[in-house]
Structure 1
Amino acid sequence: MNLDHYDSARTRKFQRKVTLLSAGGVFLDGFDLTIIAVAMPMIAGEWGLGAAEKSILTSSAIIGSFIGAVSLGNLTDRFGRKAMYIIDLLAFVLFAVLTAFAPDLWWLVIFRFLLGIGIGADYPISATLVSEFASKKGRGRLSTSLGAMWFAGAVVAYLVGLLTLPLGDFAWRAMLLVGAIFALIVFAFRVTLPESPRWLVAHGRHQEARDVVEKITGVRPSRDEVQAEAAEPAQAPAQAARLVSLFKGRQRNRTLFVCGFWFCYATAYYGISMYTPTILAPFTQGNHVAVIVGSGIVAVLGLVGSVIGMNLVDSWGRRPLIITSFAGLTASLVVLAMTVNPHLIFLIVLFSIAVLFSNSGGGILNFVYPTELFPTELRATGSGLATSVSRIGSILGVIAFPNMVAAWGNNVALWVFAAVGLSGLLICVFMAPETKNRSLEEINA
């Protein structure tokens, strides 16, 4: 049950509302995953953390998000978009508060892990809901705006870090607590959204789907129109949310593509971005403000890249955008890897170029391709699987990078990530489809 036939100011206003509230959850993802990088130098100093303990703490939320994505994405296809859409925000609020008052490292790791489950769940839920309410002409821009909000959350994390520095020993706890405040605000508005009419139709609930469409558009669709768009309504509930279906027939290549490019992007991006403050710290003589400002500049350029991609995705297209993205990321990492004894400014500039390219395609199309390439009954499940695979890449990047740096130095580590970027480029060249200006039903017909 799509809204392509109801293009009006009223419908577009509702679509913007859905996108904004979904983007609020993605903003929280970016904030909560980045704020630990901002706080890490202070936590490490207070508790005397070594490299292994830093890796465990940094990866704890990412490991949780792996579990949340693969399990709760499945539940979203079974029990509905709205229920899981609200529940995962409750996890944000609760566990963000607990992380701020963790008494020691291991309690902090546990609370960050549980927070990560909510983070992982929000990716497939938010992206699926936006794509199912969007029209085909504006779907790319609306969906990629979610990716842009992730990087906005990362930028705000650095701003919050600067503002809370004067709090001294309580600074890092205040940084984590701010995430709970943001989550509570988003939760209050999310409860007002209806269920996805596409999900209702796929589960045979045609009358409810008509009610939702009428509420959104002011026009009540006919019974015949709703039933005509129902793809196997009698079988959909029994077939929904089955991971095995993602590896059958034409879904196999689609699944391999979205999992493959997202894995490569996440490995390279998280491996570097989560340690940007740590990488820059030796060049600032222990100046926390300089570290946060330098890392914040990198984050801002990442946000700029996502905005550029957001404005090109529906005109230039998905395929050329993602290929250019991986090509620029790979080239930047190669230059970094070839540079011995770099200057602080050089590092900031090259890291900024790398994240600008990576986020202009790979960092935002991970909210587009997974929701476009899977049918309604498998959409959240497929998005959840892709998210969980990307989290494996994130975990590898976060754990591997500091240990490779310790063993072989920055340059060798950067060569490894350049190879990962090249792998992502090849996957996109040979497998990325073009889906612009096509409805979800047309893509999956």
Structure 2
Amino acid sequence: MSFDKLDTPADAKKLQKFQRKVAFVSAGGTFLDGFDLTIIAVAMPLILKNWDVTAGEQSMIVASAIVGSFIGASWLGNLTDKFGRKAMYIVDLLAFVVFAALSAFSTGVWQLVIFRFLLGVGIGADYPISATLVSEFSSTKSRGKSGTFLGMMWFVGAVVAYISGILMLPMGDNAWRYMILLGAVFAIIIFIFRLGLPESPRWLVSKGREKEAENIMYELTGHRTVIEPDTEKKYPLRYLFSSTLFKRTFFVCGFWFCYAIAYYGISMYTPTLLSAFTKGSLQETYLASSVVSVLGLIGALIGSNLVDNWGRRPLIITSFSGLTIGLLLLALNPHPTLAFLVILFSAAVLFANMGGGILNFVYPTELFPTSIRASAAGFATSVSRIGSILGTLVFPNFVAWWGNSSALWFFTVIGFCGLVISVALAPETKGRKLEDINYYAKGS
């Protein structure tokens, strides 16, 4: 099954318009992920100002959504392979709406932790669902750019979170509530646009529903195709750890785990770290933090435009090289200025997002068979969430024990580990059909 060759330019234009719609609507989910996970970092200085929050409670508030995303990715990714891409694609948005709103009206720390955890379940679910659907609807030529577009929109969401913080700061003590509530408003809009999308033909074929798949292909491409029954063996989740796929599984989980520790450990506390250098000015803190976030977005944009031309492998190796060097320079300076921190944080995040931060939406959906594609992406996401949890829980404690500079050595080592994994295991998949990538993986 392919979306690569069409009979007429009109058919091609019609299909490309639909593929753009799938990419944009799916990217709405990753936009929400970036917004909802970042907005808590933006809101945290105000929460600390209004509530009596201990260091441990602060870590729990920041980490709660990430812990929830671990559950959502591992559980709902598997359900996506069982019940379909479309059903879970719509349902998970409801969690964004309901629990973002409830988080905004929390009256205490533990209410906020619980509602953010449940919001995180929806966040975790959307990673494998959106990435899988985009991958299965994309043409071979543009699959990498479509997938990395999802990753790029995560960082758009992060930038919007900082802009929202700056704009809503004058609203007073409850400004943090309005910041969080805005996520529910965005989710309602995206939910409406998702309602009209069809099921993935590849998933329908994997379930023996060829006629339904043929009808969708006709609607999308403008010509009739006869789809043969799927002869690919249906694999259980444990096949990810077989001798055939273990290297791929280890690579995807390994590089994403390392990226998540470094990125979340630093980015979730960027406003808190920089506030010490802005003499308590939240306006200056948000502006400095937004610079870091914008550079991260630029890195994702650069990577998105290189992925289908330069290739996945050189991109991810360059990404971890730049991240590691940036963290090393930060660790070597025990008494940085605000300008130095902003420049080096920005450089580290730019390189990190250029590869590791966007290829986590590409590699997991390319390297595994259709029958377990969403499950594999969900498993990799859940492993990355463990890294995110470690980063958000470990970093503030390391800073308290050793100071900022010493704590950054930990993240430098993690970045180097990601580099080693990428050099040793990163495959090149540009220009290859999903079926071909997995055909050779099975040694056929």
* TM-score, reference length from structure 2: 0.97
In the alignment, residue 321 of structure 1 is paired with which amino acid? Answer: L
Deviation at 1:439, TM superposition (A): 0.5
Contact 1:145 1:310 in 2 (8 A): yes
Q: Deviations over 1:40-83 (max 9, x none)?
A: 00001111212111100000000000000000000000000000
Q: Which of 301, 304, 310 in structure 2 is aligned with 1:316? A: 310
Q: Give the aligned partner of residue 422 of structure 1.
A: 416
Deviation at 1:243, TM superposition (A): 2.2
Q: Which of 327, 330, 333 in structure 1 is aligned with 2:321? A: 327
Q: Which runs of 4+ in 1 moved over 6 A?
A: none
Counterparts of 1:356 and 1:101, CA distance in 2 = 34
Q: Give the aligned partner of residue 101 of structure 1.
A: 105
Deviation at 1:4, TM superposition (A): 2.0
Q: Give the aligned partner of residue 137 of structure 2.
A: 133
Counterparts of 1:113 and 1:247, CA distance in 2 = 29
Contact 1:322 1:361 in 2 (8 A): yes
Q: Give the aligned partner of residue 218 of structure 1.
A: 222
Deviation at 1:371, TM superposition (A): 0.2
Q: Give the aligned partner of residue 185 of structure 1.
A: 189
Structure 2 unaligned runs (5+)? 440-444
Counterparts of 1:231 and 1:143, CA distance in 2 = 27
Deviation at 1:249, TM superposition (A): 2.9
What is the SS of the residue equivalent to 1:179? helix
Contact 1:2 1:132 in 2 (8 A): no
Contact 1:199 1:377 in 2 (8 A): yes
User: How do 1:58-73 and structure 2 match up within 5 A?
Assistant: 58-73=62-77
Does residue 231 (structure 1) correspond to residue 228 (structure 2)? The answer is no
Contact 2:70 2:385 in 1 (8 A): yes
In the alignment, residue 285 of structure 1 is paired with which amino acid? Answer: K
What is the SS of the residue equivalent to 1:283? coil
Counterparts of 1:231 and 1:49, CA distance in 2 = 57
User: How do 1:60-209 and structure 2 match up within 5 A?
Assistant: 60-209=64-213
Counterparts of 2:407 and 2:437, CA distance in 1 = 39
In the alignment, residue 381 of structure 1 is paired with which amino acid? Answer: S
Deviation at 1:216, TM superposition (A): 1.0
Q: Deviations over 1:331-384 (max 9, x none)?
A: 000000000211101100000000000000000000000000001001000000
Counterparts of 1:219 and 1:290, CA distance in 2 = 57
What is the SS of the residue equivalent to 1:8? helix
Does residue 350 (structure 1) correspond to residue 365 (structure 2)? The answer is no
Q: Deviations over 1:209-256 (max 9, x none)?
A: 00111111111212xxx116x233xx53xx4xx321111132111111
Q: Which of 231, 238, 244 in structure 2 is aligned with 1:244? A: 238
Structure 1 unaligned runs (5+)? none
After superposition, the CA RMSD in angstroms is: 0.9
In the alignment, residue 405 of structure 2 is paired with which amino acid? Answer: N
Q: Give the aligned partner of residue 269 of structure 1.
A: 263
Contact 1:2 1:198 in 2 (8 A): no
Does residue 439 (structure 1) correspond to residue 433 (structure 2)? The answer is yes
Aligned length: 435
Counterparts of 1:340 and 1:118, CA distance in 2 = 39
Does residue 42 (structure 1) correspond to residue 36 (structure 2)? The answer is no
Does residue 302 (structure 1) correspond to residue 296 (structure 2)? The answer is yes
Counterparts of 2:112 and 2:273, CA distance in 1 = 23
Counterparts of 2:128 and 2:355, CA distance in 1 = 18
Counterparts of 1:183 and 1:216, CA distance in 2 = 27
Does residue 21 (structure 1) correspond to residue 37 (structure 2)? The answer is no
Q: Give the aligned partner of residue 4 of structure 1.
A: 4
Q: Percentage identity across aligned positions?
A: 63
Q: Give the aligned partner of residue 259 of structure 1.
A: 253
Q: Give the aligned partner of residue 442 of structure 2.
A: none
Q: Give the aligned partner of residue 379 of structure 1.
A: 373
Contact 1:69 1:388 in 2 (8 A): yes
In the alignment, residue 382 of structure 1 is paired with which amino acid? Answer: A
What is the SS of the residue equivalent to 1:227? coil
Deviation at 1:5, TM superposition (A): 2.6
What is the SS of the residue equivalent to 1:444? helix
Contact 1:19 1:142 in 2 (8 A): yes
Q: Give the aligned partner of residue 358 of structure 2.
A: 364
Q: Deviations over 1:280-326 (max 9, x none)?
A: 01101110000000000000000000000000000000000000000
Contact 1:100 1:177 in 2 (8 A): yes
What is the SS of the residue equivalent to 2:174? helix
Counterparts of 1:80 and 1:300, CA distance in 2 = 35
Counterparts of 2:94 and 2:217, CA distance in 1 = 27
Deviation at 1:170, TM superposition (A): 1.3
